[in-house]
Structure 1
Amino acid sequence: MLMACGGTGGERVLPPRYLTTAGALAVANLDGRIAQQAEAAGIEELLLLRARFLGDYNALDRASVLAERRFDTGLALLRRARTRSAVHHFADALADVDAAERAGADAEECGALRASILVATGHAGEAVPLLEAGVARHPGFASRSALAGAYAALGRLAEADRLYVAALADLDTTSPFPYAWIYFARGTMWAEQGGDTARGEALYAQALTHLPGFVMAGIHLAECEVARGDLSSAMARLDRLATSSNEPEALALLGELHVRTGEPERGRRELSRARQRFEALLSKHPLAFADHAALFYLGPGADAERAWVLAQQNLAGRQTDRAVALAVEAARATGRHQEARALVSASPRPTAGAPLPR
Protein backbone atom coordinates (compact mmCIF):
# COMPACT_ATOMS: atom_id res chain seq x y z
CA MET A 1 0.00 0.00 0.00
CA LEU A 2 1.48 3.29 -1.08
CA MET A 3 0.70 6.41 0.95
CA ALA A 4 1.51 9.97 -0.03
CA CYS A 5 4.61 11.14 1.77
CA GLY A 6 3.78 14.61 3.00
CA GLY A 7 1.19 15.74 0.47
CA THR A 8 -0.07 19.27 0.84
CA GLY A 9 -3.19 18.21 2.64
CA GLY A 10 -2.14 14.76 3.75
CA GLU A 11 -3.52 13.34 0.50
CA ARG A 12 -3.85 9.60 0.42
CA VAL A 13 -2.33 7.91 -2.59
CA LEU A 14 -4.37 4.91 -3.68
CA PRO A 15 -2.38 1.67 -3.87
CA PRO A 16 -1.15 0.76 -7.36
CA ARG A 17 -3.46 -1.50 -9.30
CA TYR A 18 -0.66 -4.01 -9.61
CA LEU A 19 2.38 -4.89 -7.53
CA THR A 20 5.21 -3.10 -9.30
CA THR A 21 8.15 -5.06 -10.63
CA ALA A 22 11.21 -5.12 -8.39
CA GLY A 23 13.63 -2.39 -9.41
CA ALA A 24 16.55 -4.69 -10.24
CA LEU A 25 14.33 -6.89 -12.39
CA ALA A 26 12.88 -3.87 -14.17
CA VAL A 27 16.39 -2.65 -15.01
CA ALA A 28 17.37 -6.12 -16.22
CA ASN A 29 14.26 -6.20 -18.42
CA LEU A 30 15.13 -2.75 -19.80
CA ASP A 31 18.67 -3.87 -20.58
CA GLY A 32 17.31 -6.98 -22.27
CA ARG A 33 15.08 -4.90 -24.51
CA ILE A 34 17.97 -2.59 -25.37
CA ALA A 35 20.17 -5.57 -26.29
CA GLN A 36 17.38 -7.13 -28.34
CA GLN A 37 16.61 -3.97 -30.31
CA ALA A 38 20.26 -3.23 -31.10
CA GLU A 39 19.97 -0.17 -33.34
CA ALA A 40 16.32 -0.58 -34.33
CA ALA A 41 14.11 2.49 -34.52
CA GLY A 42 12.70 3.33 -31.09
CA ILE A 43 15.69 2.18 -29.09
CA GLU A 44 16.43 5.86 -28.43
CA GLU A 45 13.50 5.98 -25.99
CA LEU A 46 14.88 3.03 -24.02
CA LEU A 47 18.36 4.52 -23.91
CA LEU A 48 16.99 7.85 -22.67
CA LEU A 49 15.12 5.96 -19.93
CA ARG A 50 18.35 4.30 -18.83
CA ALA A 51 20.20 7.61 -18.84
CA ARG A 52 17.50 9.42 -16.87
CA PHE A 53 17.21 6.90 -14.06
CA LEU A 54 20.61 5.21 -13.89
CA GLY A 55 22.94 8.07 -14.76
CA ASP A 56 24.18 6.10 -17.76
CA TYR A 57 25.55 8.86 -19.96
CA ASN A 58 26.99 6.39 -22.44
CA ALA A 59 23.36 5.51 -23.14
CA LEU A 60 22.64 9.21 -23.63
CA ASP A 61 25.53 9.46 -26.12
CA ARG A 62 24.26 6.44 -28.03
CA ALA A 63 20.67 7.72 -28.13
CA SER A 64 21.86 11.08 -29.43
CA VAL A 65 24.00 9.54 -32.18
CA LEU A 66 21.22 7.21 -33.34
CA ALA A 67 18.55 9.90 -33.30
CA GLU A 68 20.65 12.23 -35.44
CA ARG A 69 20.76 9.57 -38.16
CA ARG A 70 16.98 9.08 -38.37
CA PHE A 71 14.62 11.87 -39.29
CA ASP A 72 12.78 10.64 -42.39
CA THR A 73 9.32 10.32 -40.80
CA GLY A 74 7.19 12.27 -38.36
CA LEU A 75 7.75 9.64 -35.67
CA ALA A 76 11.51 9.71 -36.20
CA LEU A 77 11.49 13.50 -35.92
CA LEU A 78 9.60 13.25 -32.62
CA ARG A 79 12.18 10.81 -31.30
CA ARG A 80 14.98 13.14 -32.36
CA ALA A 81 13.18 16.01 -30.67
CA ARG A 82 13.03 14.07 -27.41
CA THR A 83 16.72 13.23 -27.65
CA ARG A 84 17.67 16.80 -28.49
CA SER A 85 15.59 18.01 -25.57
CA ALA A 86 17.39 15.55 -23.28
CA VAL A 87 20.72 17.18 -24.16
CA HIS A 88 19.14 20.65 -23.88
CA HIS A 89 19.22 21.55 -27.57
CA PHE A 90 15.78 23.01 -27.04
CA ALA A 91 15.52 25.24 -30.14
CA ASP A 92 16.46 22.33 -32.39
CA ALA A 93 14.01 20.09 -30.54
CA LEU A 94 11.16 22.57 -31.08
CA ALA A 95 12.02 22.76 -34.78
CA ASP A 96 11.81 18.97 -34.94
CA VAL A 97 8.41 19.00 -33.24
CA ASP A 98 7.11 21.47 -35.81
CA ALA A 99 8.55 19.38 -38.65
CA ALA A 100 7.09 16.20 -37.16
CA GLU A 101 3.65 17.76 -37.02
CA ARG A 102 3.90 18.83 -40.65
CA ALA A 103 4.95 15.28 -41.54
CA GLY A 104 1.78 13.88 -39.99
CA ALA A 105 2.96 12.86 -36.51
CA ASP A 106 0.30 12.54 -33.83
CA ALA A 107 -0.90 16.03 -32.89
CA GLU A 108 -1.37 15.14 -29.21
CA GLU A 109 2.18 13.82 -28.93
CA CYS A 110 3.55 16.88 -30.69
CA GLY A 111 1.61 19.21 -28.42
CA ALA A 112 2.71 17.43 -25.27
CA LEU A 113 6.37 17.49 -26.26
CA ARG A 114 6.18 21.14 -27.31
CA ALA A 115 4.64 22.02 -23.94
CA SER A 116 7.33 20.11 -22.03
CA ILE A 117 10.04 22.06 -23.87
CA LEU A 118 8.28 25.32 -23.08
CA VAL A 119 8.31 24.40 -19.38
CA ALA A 120 11.97 23.38 -19.52
CA THR A 121 12.96 26.68 -21.12
CA GLY A 122 11.18 28.94 -18.66
CA HIS A 123 7.90 29.44 -20.54
CA ALA A 124 5.62 27.39 -18.33
CA GLY A 125 2.98 30.12 -18.45
CA GLU A 126 2.63 29.58 -22.19
CA ALA A 127 2.45 25.82 -21.73
CA VAL A 128 -0.24 25.76 -19.06
CA PRO A 129 -3.25 26.44 -21.34
CA LEU A 130 -2.07 23.68 -23.70
CA LEU A 131 -1.58 21.25 -20.84
CA GLU A 132 -4.86 22.11 -19.14
CA ALA A 133 -6.64 21.46 -22.42
CA GLY A 134 -4.83 18.13 -22.65
CA VAL A 135 -6.05 17.10 -19.20
CA ALA A 136 -9.59 18.08 -20.14
CA ARG A 137 -9.45 15.99 -23.33
CA HIS A 138 -7.53 12.99 -22.02
CA PRO A 139 -7.28 12.91 -18.21
CA GLY A 140 -4.64 10.42 -17.14
CA PHE A 141 -1.11 9.89 -15.94
CA ALA A 142 0.70 11.58 -18.83
CA SER A 143 -1.49 14.67 -19.04
CA ARG A 144 -1.78 15.21 -15.28
CA SER A 145 1.91 14.74 -14.54
CA ALA A 146 2.85 17.12 -17.38
CA LEU A 147 0.50 19.81 -16.07
CA ALA A 148 1.81 19.24 -12.54
CA GLY A 149 5.34 19.96 -13.77
CA ALA A 150 4.20 23.22 -15.33
CA TYR A 151 2.36 24.30 -12.16
CA ALA A 152 5.47 23.47 -10.12
CA ALA A 153 7.62 25.60 -12.43
CA LEU A 154 5.25 28.52 -11.77
CA GLY A 155 5.40 28.05 -8.00
CA ARG A 156 1.87 26.64 -7.76
CA LEU A 157 3.08 23.86 -5.51
CA ALA A 158 -0.17 22.80 -3.84
CA GLU A 159 -1.94 22.45 -7.19
CA ALA A 160 1.04 20.60 -8.63
CA ASP A 161 1.13 18.18 -5.73
CA ARG A 162 -2.57 17.35 -6.06
CA LEU A 163 -2.05 16.62 -9.75
CA TYR A 164 0.99 14.45 -9.06
CA VAL A 165 -1.07 12.45 -6.56
CA ALA A 166 -3.87 12.10 -9.12
CA ALA A 167 -1.36 11.01 -11.75
CA LEU A 168 -0.10 8.26 -9.45
CA ALA A 169 -3.68 7.04 -8.99
CA ASP A 170 -4.06 6.88 -12.79
CA LEU A 171 -1.12 4.55 -13.29
CA ASP A 172 -2.01 1.16 -14.74
CA THR A 173 1.35 -0.57 -15.02
CA THR A 174 3.68 -2.87 -13.15
CA SER A 175 6.71 -0.80 -14.21
CA PRO A 176 8.39 0.99 -11.29
CA PHE A 177 9.82 3.76 -13.49
CA PRO A 178 6.82 6.13 -13.61
CA TYR A 179 6.13 5.70 -9.88
CA ALA A 180 9.74 6.49 -9.05
CA TRP A 181 9.72 9.53 -11.33
CA ILE A 182 6.60 11.08 -9.79
CA TYR A 183 7.89 10.63 -6.23
CA PHE A 184 11.21 12.14 -7.28
CA ALA A 185 9.51 15.10 -8.98
CA ARG A 186 7.40 15.75 -5.88
CA GLY A 187 10.43 15.43 -3.64
CA THR A 188 12.43 17.90 -5.70
CA MET A 189 9.52 20.33 -5.75
CA TRP A 190 9.03 20.33 -1.98
CA ALA A 191 12.69 20.20 -0.98
CA GLU A 192 14.02 22.79 -3.42
CA GLN A 193 11.06 25.08 -4.10
CA GLY A 194 8.96 24.57 -0.99
CA GLY A 195 11.88 24.52 1.45
CA ASP A 196 10.49 21.38 3.10
CA THR A 197 13.49 19.07 3.31
CA ALA A 198 11.71 16.52 5.51
CA ARG A 199 8.89 16.10 3.03
CA GLY A 200 11.38 15.92 0.19
CA GLU A 201 13.39 13.24 1.98
CA ALA A 202 10.32 11.06 2.50
CA LEU A 203 9.41 11.35 -1.17
CA TYR A 204 12.95 10.56 -2.37
CA ALA A 205 12.91 7.49 -0.15
CA GLN A 206 9.61 6.43 -1.72
CA ALA A 207 11.11 6.81 -5.20
CA LEU A 208 13.99 4.55 -4.16
CA THR A 209 11.56 2.00 -2.76
CA HIS A 210 10.33 1.52 -6.30
CA LEU A 211 13.70 1.86 -8.03
CA PRO A 212 16.72 1.46 -5.70
CA GLY A 213 19.13 2.23 -8.55
CA PHE A 214 17.62 5.67 -9.29
CA VAL A 215 20.81 7.73 -9.17
CA MET A 216 19.51 11.29 -8.84
CA ALA A 217 16.95 10.28 -6.20
CA GLY A 218 19.80 8.73 -4.23
CA ILE A 219 21.92 11.88 -4.48
CA HIS A 220 19.02 14.12 -3.43
CA LEU A 221 18.24 11.80 -0.52
CA ALA A 222 21.88 11.98 0.56
CA GLU A 223 21.69 15.79 0.48
CA CYS A 224 18.67 15.62 2.80
CA GLU A 225 20.58 13.29 5.12
CA VAL A 226 23.47 15.76 5.20
CA ALA A 227 21.06 18.58 6.00
CA ARG A 228 19.83 16.79 9.12
CA GLY A 229 23.30 15.67 10.16
CA ASP A 230 23.26 11.98 9.22
CA LEU A 231 26.61 12.08 7.46
CA SER A 232 27.42 8.38 7.79
CA SER A 233 24.28 7.32 5.94
CA ALA A 234 24.79 9.98 3.28
CA MET A 235 28.42 8.96 2.71
CA ALA A 236 27.60 5.26 2.44
CA ARG A 237 24.85 6.05 -0.05
CA LEU A 238 27.08 8.34 -2.12
CA ASP A 239 29.92 5.82 -2.12
CA ARG A 240 27.60 3.20 -3.64
CA LEU A 241 26.32 5.66 -6.24
CA ALA A 242 29.79 6.89 -7.21
CA THR A 243 30.94 3.29 -7.64
CA SER A 244 27.94 2.16 -9.68
CA SER A 245 27.50 5.20 -11.91
CA ASN A 246 30.58 7.44 -11.80
CA GLU A 247 28.07 10.28 -11.38
CA PRO A 248 30.06 13.51 -10.81
CA GLU A 249 27.52 15.00 -8.40
CA ALA A 250 27.84 11.96 -6.15
CA LEU A 251 31.64 12.18 -6.33
CA ALA A 252 31.58 15.91 -5.57
CA LEU A 253 29.37 15.65 -2.50
CA LEU A 254 31.25 12.60 -1.25
CA GLY A 255 34.54 14.46 -1.65
CA GLU A 256 33.18 17.46 0.26
CA LEU A 257 32.08 15.21 3.09
CA HIS A 258 35.39 13.38 3.30
CA VAL A 259 37.21 16.72 3.52
CA ARG A 260 34.82 17.82 6.29
CA THR A 261 35.13 14.59 8.27
CA GLY A 262 38.91 14.31 8.45
CA GLU A 263 39.88 12.50 5.24
CA PRO A 264 41.11 15.45 3.15
CA GLU A 265 43.35 13.47 0.79
CA ARG A 266 40.57 11.06 -0.12
CA GLY A 267 38.18 13.95 -0.47
CA ARG A 268 40.47 15.85 -2.79
CA ARG A 269 40.88 12.77 -4.99
CA GLU A 270 37.13 12.44 -5.27
CA LEU A 271 36.75 16.13 -6.09
CA SER A 272 39.41 15.77 -8.77
CA ARG A 273 37.52 12.82 -10.25
CA ALA A 274 34.30 14.84 -10.15
CA ARG A 275 35.99 17.68 -12.04
CA GLN A 276 37.35 15.30 -14.68
CA ARG A 277 33.97 13.65 -15.06
CA PHE A 278 32.13 16.97 -15.43
CA GLU A 279 34.60 18.13 -18.07
CA ALA A 280 34.24 14.86 -19.99
CA LEU A 281 30.46 15.25 -20.00
CA LEU A 282 30.69 18.92 -20.97
CA SER A 283 32.91 18.04 -23.92
CA LYS A 284 30.07 15.95 -25.37
CA HIS A 285 26.90 17.64 -24.16
CA PRO A 286 27.83 21.11 -22.88
CA LEU A 287 24.29 22.44 -22.55
CA ALA A 288 22.97 19.36 -20.75
CA PHE A 289 25.53 19.59 -17.96
CA ALA A 290 26.28 23.31 -17.80
CA ASP A 291 24.02 24.02 -14.80
CA HIS A 292 25.20 21.16 -12.61
CA ALA A 293 28.83 21.77 -13.51
CA ALA A 294 28.42 25.48 -12.72
CA LEU A 295 27.10 24.59 -9.27
CA PHE A 296 30.10 22.34 -8.76
CA TYR A 297 32.53 25.11 -9.72
CA LEU A 298 30.74 27.60 -7.48
CA GLY A 299 31.19 25.16 -4.61
CA PRO A 300 33.85 22.48 -4.11
CA GLY A 301 35.23 22.91 -7.63
CA ALA A 302 36.40 26.39 -6.58
CA ASP A 303 36.50 28.03 -10.00
CA ALA A 304 34.01 30.88 -10.08
CA GLU A 305 35.13 32.06 -13.54
CA ARG A 306 34.39 28.63 -15.00
CA ALA A 307 31.04 28.69 -13.23
CA TRP A 308 30.23 32.08 -14.75
CA VAL A 309 30.92 30.85 -18.29
CA LEU A 310 28.78 27.75 -17.74
CA ALA A 311 25.96 29.67 -16.10
CA GLN A 312 25.82 32.02 -19.08
CA GLN A 313 25.67 29.06 -21.46
CA ASN A 314 22.87 27.56 -19.44
CA LEU A 315 20.90 30.82 -19.31
CA ALA A 316 21.24 31.32 -23.07
CA GLY A 317 19.38 28.05 -23.61
CA ARG A 318 16.64 28.46 -21.02
CA GLN A 319 15.37 31.33 -18.95
CA THR A 320 14.06 29.47 -15.91
CA ASP A 321 14.14 30.96 -12.42
CA ARG A 322 16.84 28.48 -11.51
CA ALA A 323 18.97 29.39 -14.53
CA VAL A 324 18.70 33.10 -13.68
CA ALA A 325 19.51 32.46 -10.01
CA LEU A 326 22.55 30.42 -11.01
CA ALA A 327 23.81 33.17 -13.30
CA VAL A 328 23.24 35.77 -10.59
CA GLU A 329 25.19 33.73 -8.06
CA ALA A 330 28.04 33.17 -10.51
CA ALA A 331 28.13 36.88 -11.37
CA ARG A 332 28.36 37.82 -7.70
CA ALA A 333 31.00 35.16 -7.03
CA THR A 334 33.20 36.69 -9.75
CA GLY A 335 32.62 40.28 -8.66
CA ARG A 336 30.32 41.08 -11.57
CA HIS A 337 27.82 42.93 -9.42
CA GLN A 338 26.53 45.13 -12.23
CA GLU A 339 25.75 42.02 -14.32
CA ALA A 340 24.07 40.43 -11.31
CA ARG A 341 21.81 43.45 -10.82
CA ALA A 342 20.97 43.51 -14.53
CA LEU A 343 20.01 39.84 -14.45
CA VAL A 344 17.72 40.32 -11.46
CA SER A 345 16.13 43.42 -13.01
CA ALA A 346 15.53 41.66 -16.32
CA SER A 347 13.87 38.65 -14.71
CA PRO A 348 10.07 38.70 -15.06
CA ARG A 349 9.61 37.08 -11.66
CA PRO A 350 10.94 38.18 -8.25
CA THR A 351 12.14 34.67 -7.45
CA ALA A 352 15.06 35.06 -9.84
CA GLY A 353 17.49 35.64 -7.00
CA ALA A 354 16.18 32.76 -4.89
CA PRO A 355 18.72 30.44 -3.24
CA LEU A 356 19.86 27.57 -5.38
CA PRO A 357 19.75 23.91 -4.42
CA ARG A 358 23.16 22.47 -3.64
Structure 2
Amino acid sequence: MADLDLARRKGAAQPTLDGERAGILQAVGCYAEAQSLLTKAAPRQSDFTMLSALAVCRAEQGETDEAEREFDEAHRSYRGVSPFLLAQLDFRRGVMWMRQGDLPAGRAWLEAARRRVPGYAPAAGHLAEVDLSLGDVDAAVARLHPLVETSDDPAYTSRLALVLRVAGRHQEAQQWRDRAAERYDELVLRHPEAYADHAADFWLMVGANVDGGLQLALQTLVMRQTTRSYALVRRARAASNQAAPDTP
Protein backbone atom coordinates (compact mmCIF):
# COMPACT_ATOMS: atom_id res chain seq x y z
CA MET A 1 0.00 0.00 0.00
CA ALA A 2 2.88 2.35 0.76
CA ASP A 3 4.35 1.67 -2.68
CA LEU A 4 1.00 2.45 -4.29
CA ASP A 5 0.75 5.71 -2.35
CA LEU A 6 4.18 6.65 -3.69
CA ALA A 7 3.12 5.70 -7.21
CA ARG A 8 0.04 7.93 -6.89
CA ARG A 9 2.19 10.89 -5.83
CA LYS A 10 4.37 10.29 -8.87
CA GLY A 11 1.39 10.40 -11.22
CA ALA A 12 0.29 6.79 -11.72
CA ALA A 13 -3.22 6.40 -13.14
CA GLN A 14 -5.88 6.02 -10.46
CA PRO A 15 -7.73 3.07 -12.09
CA THR A 16 -4.47 1.13 -12.22
CA LEU A 17 -3.80 1.91 -8.58
CA ASP A 18 -7.34 0.92 -7.60
CA GLY A 19 -6.94 -2.44 -9.30
CA GLU A 20 -3.69 -3.09 -7.44
CA ARG A 21 -5.17 -1.97 -4.12
CA ALA A 22 -8.11 -4.31 -4.69
CA GLY A 23 -5.74 -7.23 -5.02
CA ILE A 24 -4.09 -6.41 -1.71
CA LEU A 25 -7.41 -5.91 0.08
CA GLN A 26 -8.67 -9.21 -1.29
CA ALA A 27 -5.53 -10.97 -0.10
CA VAL A 28 -6.10 -9.83 3.51
CA GLY A 29 -9.82 -10.60 3.53
CA CYS A 30 -11.31 -7.14 2.93
CA TYR A 31 -13.61 -8.46 0.22
CA ALA A 32 -16.26 -5.71 0.23
CA GLU A 33 -13.62 -2.97 -0.14
CA ALA A 34 -11.88 -4.96 -2.88
CA GLN A 35 -15.12 -5.39 -4.86
CA SER A 36 -15.89 -1.70 -4.53
CA LEU A 37 -12.52 -0.71 -5.95
CA LEU A 38 -12.76 -3.24 -8.77
CA THR A 39 -16.17 -1.94 -9.77
CA LYS A 40 -14.89 1.64 -9.61
CA ALA A 41 -11.90 0.80 -11.80
CA ALA A 42 -13.95 -1.26 -14.28
CA PRO A 43 -14.64 1.48 -16.88
CA ARG A 44 -10.89 2.03 -17.32
CA GLN A 45 -9.85 -1.64 -17.35
CA SER A 46 -10.38 -4.38 -19.87
CA ASP A 47 -13.48 -6.48 -19.34
CA PHE A 48 -11.33 -9.56 -18.89
CA THR A 49 -9.17 -8.00 -16.16
CA MET A 50 -12.12 -6.72 -14.19
CA LEU A 51 -14.32 -9.79 -14.60
CA SER A 52 -11.48 -12.16 -13.72
CA ALA A 53 -10.68 -10.25 -10.56
CA LEU A 54 -14.34 -10.12 -9.54
CA ALA A 55 -14.78 -13.83 -10.25
CA VAL A 56 -11.85 -14.77 -8.05
CA CYS A 57 -13.01 -12.41 -5.30
CA ARG A 58 -16.48 -13.99 -5.37
CA ALA A 59 -14.96 -17.48 -5.40
CA GLU A 60 -12.89 -16.80 -2.30
CA GLN A 61 -16.04 -15.76 -0.45
CA GLY A 62 -17.87 -18.93 -1.48
CA GLU A 63 -20.31 -17.05 -3.73
CA THR A 64 -20.19 -19.75 -6.37
CA ASP A 65 -23.24 -18.76 -8.45
CA GLU A 66 -22.01 -15.20 -8.90
CA ALA A 67 -18.44 -16.38 -9.45
CA GLU A 68 -19.54 -18.87 -12.13
CA ARG A 69 -21.29 -16.12 -14.10
CA GLU A 70 -18.25 -13.88 -13.90
CA PHE A 71 -15.85 -16.69 -14.82
CA ASP A 72 -18.00 -17.36 -17.91
CA GLU A 73 -18.15 -13.68 -18.83
CA ALA A 74 -14.41 -13.30 -18.36
CA HIS A 75 -13.79 -16.21 -20.74
CA ARG A 76 -16.10 -14.69 -23.35
CA SER A 77 -14.43 -11.29 -23.07
CA TYR A 78 -10.87 -12.52 -23.58
CA ARG A 79 -9.29 -11.21 -26.77
CA GLY A 80 -5.67 -12.27 -26.29
CA VAL A 81 -3.78 -15.16 -27.85
CA SER A 82 -1.73 -16.32 -24.84
CA PRO A 83 -3.08 -19.38 -22.98
CA PHE A 84 -1.62 -18.37 -19.63
CA LEU A 85 -4.31 -16.00 -18.38
CA LEU A 86 -7.10 -18.40 -19.30
CA ALA A 87 -5.24 -21.30 -17.70
CA GLN A 88 -4.90 -19.31 -14.51
CA LEU A 89 -8.60 -18.49 -14.61
CA ASP A 90 -9.52 -22.15 -15.09
CA PHE A 91 -7.21 -23.08 -12.21
CA ARG A 92 -8.86 -20.62 -9.82
CA ARG A 93 -12.26 -21.93 -10.86
CA GLY A 94 -11.17 -25.48 -10.17
CA VAL A 95 -9.84 -24.52 -6.74
CA MET A 96 -13.16 -22.86 -5.94
CA TRP A 97 -15.06 -26.08 -6.62
CA MET A 98 -12.54 -28.18 -4.72
CA ARG A 99 -13.03 -26.00 -1.65
CA GLN A 100 -16.79 -26.38 -2.07
CA GLY A 101 -16.39 -30.17 -2.09
CA ASP A 102 -17.46 -30.63 -5.73
CA LEU A 103 -14.52 -32.78 -6.84
CA PRO A 104 -15.79 -33.61 -10.37
CA ALA A 105 -16.22 -29.91 -11.19
CA GLY A 106 -12.87 -29.11 -9.61
CA ARG A 107 -11.16 -31.82 -11.65
CA ALA A 108 -12.80 -30.64 -14.88
CA TRP A 109 -11.50 -27.09 -14.53
CA LEU A 110 -8.05 -28.12 -13.33
CA GLU A 111 -7.76 -30.43 -16.34
CA ALA A 112 -8.86 -27.54 -18.56
CA ALA A 113 -5.98 -25.50 -17.17
CA ARG A 114 -3.56 -28.36 -17.89
CA ARG A 115 -4.82 -28.67 -21.47
CA ARG A 116 -4.03 -25.00 -22.03
CA VAL A 117 -0.63 -25.18 -20.28
CA PRO A 118 0.49 -28.82 -19.87
CA GLY A 119 3.32 -27.86 -17.51
CA TYR A 120 1.06 -25.99 -15.08
CA ALA A 121 2.45 -27.40 -11.81
CA PRO A 122 -0.16 -26.01 -9.34
CA ALA A 123 -2.96 -27.54 -11.41
CA ALA A 124 -1.19 -30.91 -11.41
CA GLY A 125 -0.67 -30.70 -7.66
CA HIS A 126 -4.34 -30.03 -7.02
CA LEU A 127 -5.36 -32.80 -9.41
CA ALA A 128 -3.30 -35.15 -7.25
CA GLU A 129 -5.40 -34.01 -4.27
CA VAL A 130 -8.55 -34.85 -6.21
CA ASP A 131 -7.13 -38.26 -7.15
CA LEU A 132 -6.40 -39.00 -3.50
CA SER A 133 -9.83 -37.84 -2.37
CA LEU A 134 -11.41 -40.16 -4.94
CA GLY A 135 -9.27 -43.09 -3.82
CA ASP A 136 -6.91 -43.26 -6.81
CA VAL A 137 -3.61 -43.33 -4.94
CA ASP A 138 -1.53 -44.55 -7.87
CA ALA A 139 -2.69 -41.65 -10.06
CA ALA A 140 -1.85 -39.17 -7.30
CA VAL A 141 1.67 -40.59 -6.92
CA ALA A 142 2.18 -40.50 -10.69
CA ARG A 143 1.21 -36.82 -10.82
CA LEU A 144 3.37 -35.79 -7.88
CA HIS A 145 6.66 -37.57 -8.63
CA PRO A 146 7.59 -35.31 -11.59
CA LEU A 147 6.74 -32.22 -9.51
CA VAL A 148 8.94 -33.10 -6.54
CA GLU A 149 11.85 -33.73 -8.91
CA THR A 150 11.58 -30.35 -10.65
CA SER A 151 10.15 -27.94 -8.04
CA ASP A 152 11.46 -26.68 -4.71
CA ASP A 153 7.91 -25.93 -3.53
CA PRO A 154 7.35 -28.08 -0.40
CA ALA A 155 3.63 -28.31 -1.17
CA TYR A 156 4.37 -31.12 -3.59
CA THR A 157 6.69 -33.05 -1.29
CA SER A 158 4.19 -32.79 1.56
CA ARG A 159 1.35 -34.02 -0.67
CA LEU A 160 3.48 -36.92 -1.85
CA ALA A 161 4.25 -37.80 1.78
CA LEU A 162 0.54 -37.80 2.54
CA VAL A 163 -0.33 -39.95 -0.45
CA LEU A 164 2.41 -42.47 0.33
CA ARG A 165 1.27 -42.67 3.94
CA VAL A 166 -2.27 -43.42 2.81
CA ALA A 167 -0.85 -46.10 0.53
CA GLY A 168 0.94 -47.70 3.49
CA ARG A 169 4.40 -46.85 2.14
CA HIS A 170 5.49 -45.30 5.43
CA GLN A 171 9.26 -45.34 4.98
CA GLU A 172 9.04 -43.46 1.68
CA ALA A 173 6.46 -41.11 3.18
CA GLN A 174 8.78 -40.23 6.06
CA GLN A 175 11.60 -39.27 3.70
CA TRP A 176 9.38 -36.83 1.80
CA ARG A 177 7.83 -35.56 5.04
CA ASP A 178 11.28 -34.71 6.44
CA ARG A 179 12.25 -32.95 3.21
CA ALA A 180 9.05 -30.87 3.28
CA ALA A 181 9.48 -30.01 6.97
CA GLU A 182 13.00 -28.68 6.40
CA ARG A 183 11.88 -26.56 3.45
CA TYR A 184 8.81 -25.15 5.24
CA ASP A 185 10.91 -24.18 8.26
CA GLU A 186 13.26 -22.30 5.95
CA LEU A 187 10.49 -20.53 4.03
CA VAL A 188 8.41 -19.55 7.08
CA LEU A 189 11.50 -17.99 8.62
CA ARG A 190 12.22 -15.97 5.46
CA HIS A 191 8.71 -15.24 4.21
CA PRO A 192 6.12 -15.81 6.96
CA GLU A 193 3.38 -13.84 5.19
CA ALA A 194 3.58 -16.10 2.15
CA TYR A 195 4.12 -19.50 3.75
CA ALA A 196 2.69 -19.61 7.28
CA ASP A 197 -0.69 -20.90 6.10
CA HIS A 198 0.83 -23.57 3.86
CA ALA A 199 3.16 -24.67 6.65
CA ALA A 200 0.24 -24.83 9.09
CA ASP A 201 -1.61 -27.09 6.70
CA PHE A 202 1.46 -29.30 6.38
CA TRP A 203 1.95 -29.71 10.13
CA LEU A 204 -1.72 -30.52 10.62
CA MET A 205 -1.98 -32.99 7.73
CA VAL A 206 1.43 -34.64 7.42
CA GLY A 207 3.91 -33.21 9.89
CA ALA A 208 2.26 -34.57 13.05
CA ASN A 209 2.77 -31.30 14.93
CA VAL A 210 -0.69 -30.04 15.82
CA ASP A 211 0.57 -27.35 18.22
CA GLY A 212 2.91 -25.98 15.55
CA GLY A 213 0.11 -26.02 13.01
CA LEU A 214 -2.22 -24.14 15.36
CA GLN A 215 0.36 -21.46 16.08
CA LEU A 216 1.02 -20.90 12.39
CA ALA A 217 -2.72 -20.85 11.65
CA LEU A 218 -3.24 -18.15 14.31
CA GLN A 219 -0.27 -16.23 12.92
CA THR A 220 -1.86 -16.35 9.47
CA LEU A 221 -5.18 -15.07 10.81
CA VAL A 222 -3.44 -12.04 12.32
CA MET A 223 -1.91 -11.22 8.95
CA ARG A 224 -5.07 -11.69 6.86
CA GLN A 225 -8.65 -12.34 7.83
CA THR A 226 -9.63 -14.38 4.79
CA THR A 227 -12.21 -17.14 4.55
CA ARG A 228 -9.40 -19.66 4.20
CA SER A 229 -7.57 -18.31 7.26
CA TYR A 230 -10.63 -18.70 9.46
CA ALA A 231 -11.21 -22.22 8.13
CA LEU A 232 -7.57 -23.12 8.83
CA VAL A 233 -7.83 -21.93 12.43
CA ARG A 234 -11.03 -23.94 12.94
CA ARG A 235 -9.31 -27.06 11.60
CA ALA A 236 -6.26 -26.48 13.77
CA ARG A 237 -8.31 -25.96 16.93
CA ALA A 238 -10.37 -29.07 16.22
CA ALA A 239 -7.18 -31.09 15.71
CA SER A 240 -5.70 -29.64 18.90
CA ASN A 241 -8.79 -30.52 20.92
CA GLN A 242 -8.76 -34.04 19.50
CA ALA A 243 -5.09 -34.48 20.31
CA ALA A 244 -5.40 -33.15 23.87
CA PRO A 245 -5.29 -35.91 26.52
CA ASP A 246 -8.46 -36.55 28.45
CA THR A 247 -8.52 -34.95 31.86
CA PRO A 248 -10.20 -36.50 34.87
Q: State the TM-score, normalizing by the size of structure 1.
A: 0.64
**Residue deviations 1:52-85 (CA, integer Å, cap 9, x gap):** xxxxxxxxxxxxxxxxxxxxxxxxxxxxxxxxxx
- How do residues 170-319 of structure 1 correspond to structure 2 at under 5 angstroms? 170-192=77-99, 194-319=100-225
Letter in 2 for 1:330: A
Count of aligned pairs between the two proteins: 242
SS in 2 for 1:174: coil
Structure 1 runs of 4+ off > 6 angstroms?
Answer: none
Does the 8 Å CA contact 2:162/2:205 hold for their aligned counterparts? no
Q: Share of identical aligned residues, percent?
A: 37
Bigger relative contact order, structure 1 or 2 (CA pairs below 8 A, ≥6 apart): 1
Following TM superposition, by how much is the alpha carbon of 1:136 offset from its aligned partner in structure 2, in angstroms? 4.4
Alignment equivalent of 1:110, drawn from 10, 17, 22: 17
Q: 2:58 maps to which residue?
A: 151
Distance 1:212 1:274 in 2: 25
Task: Using the TM superposition, name which of 199-208 and 135-144 deviates more.
Answer: 135-144
Alignment equivalent of 2:227, drawn from 315, 321, 324: 321
Following TM superposition, by how much is the alpha carbon of 1:230 offset from its aligned partner in structure 2, in angstroms? 1.6
Distance 1:204 1:222 in 2: 10
Following TM superposition, by how much is the alpha carbon of 1:330 offset from its aligned partner in structure 2, in angstroms? 2.0
Distance 1:257 1:151 in 2: 31
Following TM superposition, by how much is the alpha carbon of 1:183 offset from its aligned partner in structure 2, in angstroms? 0.2
SS in 1 for 2:138: helix
Task: Summarize the Cα distance change of 1:247–1:105 in structure 2 as closer, same or farther, 3 Å threshold.
Answer: same
Larger helix fraction of residues = 2
Q: RMSD between aligned alpha carbons?
A: 1.7
Letter in 2 for 1:298: L
Distance 1:154 1:258 in 2: 32
Does the 8 Å CA contact 1:125/1:154 hold for their aligned counterparts? no
SS in 1 for 2:206: coil
Distance 2:97 2:166 in 1: 27
Q: State the TM-score, normalizing by the size of structure 2.
A: 0.92
